[in-house]
Homo-oligomer: A and B are copies of this chain.
Amino acid sequence: MQHTFIPTQYFRTIGTHPAALTVNDGDEVAMWCVDAHGIDGNDQTVTPAGNPMSGPIAVNGLVAGDVLAVTITNMHPLRPHGWSYPTLAGNVVDPEYIGAVPYAPGSKLPKEYWDLDTTTGTVQSRGTHGMRVTAPYRPMVGCFGVAPARGEAVSTATSGPHGGNMDVRFFGVGCTVYFPVSVAGGLFFAGDAHFVQGCGEIGGTGVESAMRIDVRLAKAQMERITWPRAEDDDYLYTVGNARPLDQALQHATSEMHRMLIACGADGTSAAVIMSQLIEYHIGNVFDPAYTVVAKIAKSVLRTHGLQSTFR
């Protein structure tokens, strides 16, 4: 079944808030989302800044211990432009190099606007701050996830086992992301869409815009997970959210070992495969918790007779 979800209220925490919409297992929802500053498709600020979320959406039948599969089926811009900060964050450069970065960390930052050109599939900065820059249009969801355990309501500035502000470039159209369910119905939130973003979100922003995010929400055929996982046509992914990056990587690596065992490998084989064939990706190094993604090509799993999809 198809649902349309246009929020009347936004949340800056992901927590056990009352469901704004309840759907059945496998339903699709078109979610209207404002940008990270609460600005909508008409350039109106409709809610305070700080990654306001659309949601929560409950899925009938989900209980704690289940896994929610969120497939991003489509993303539509609600306005033809986005914005970014023309700087690098203080924490991504050497302390003694901070003075060389444009716009000092902690100062009021100007916005650089970018225009979407759907004919070329690119976004182009207006050049107000620095030169005109062209980047591919690769829309992605910066912040999404499900209500965490023990009644926490976690700021959408950060991330955790429940997902949240992970800012992973791969989390775009065609990707299925798996979240560990902690409360009945799961309670799914989404927002903070980007037209494009570099690895690490090192300027503190992607190209931020209001978008409609179309998702299919279903109970995954997957045993209890500890950290988010994902898949697209080519890869299986696991996600770790923490600081420092070293710990985020430990989470993602442990979860990958668990996932390969779930795919049919014994523990030693999983280690051998990972040693020579794993790849890592840095989601963000800007938020309070950083994000590291581990990935293994599905072709590797198929070659070795292992399960290669959970879809």
- Which residues of A does B touch, CB under 8 Å? 11-13, 15, 50, 84-102, 104-107, 112, 125, 129-131, 133-135, 150-155, 196-203, 205-207, 242-247, 249-251, 253-254, 257, 265-282, 285, 288, 290, 303-304
Contact = CB atoms under 8 A, between A and B. Distances in A.
A86 B271 contact: yes
Given A133-B276, A133-B304, A150-B155, 14 more contacts: A13-B152, A85-B275, A90-B94, A95-B95, A95-B105, A98-B105, A99-B107, A100-B254, A112-B272, A131-B269, A152-B154, A200-B278, A202-B275, A243-B243
Q: How many copies make up the complex?
A: 4
A93 B257 contact: yes
Contacts of A280: 199-200, 281-282
Nearest to A93: B254
Nearest to A90: B95
Would you call the interface of chain A mostly helix, strand, loop, or mixed? Answer: mixed
4 closest A-B pairs (Cβ-Cβ)?
A90-B95, A203-B275, A96-B106, A130-B269
25 contacts: A11-B151, A12-B150, A50-B150, A88-B275, A91-B246, A95-B98, A102-B267, A112-B272, A129-B268, A129-B272, A130-B265, A130-B272, A131-B266, A131-B272, A133-B272, A133-B276, A152-B153, A198-B275, A200-B278, A206-B275, A207-B276, A243-B247, A244-B247, A249-B282, A280-B282
A270 to B, nearest CB: 8
B203 A273 contact: no
A130 B12 CA distance: 44
Contacts of A87: 268, 271, 275
Contacts of A153: 13, 15, 151-153
A100 B130 contact: no
Contacts of A85: 275
Nearest to A14: B152
A128 to B, nearest CB: 10
A272 B110 CA distance: 12
A91 B150 CA distance: 23
A129 B282 CA distance: 31
A261 to B, nearest CB: 9
B206 A100 contact: no
Contacts of A249: 92, 200, 245, 282, 285
B274 A203 contact: yes
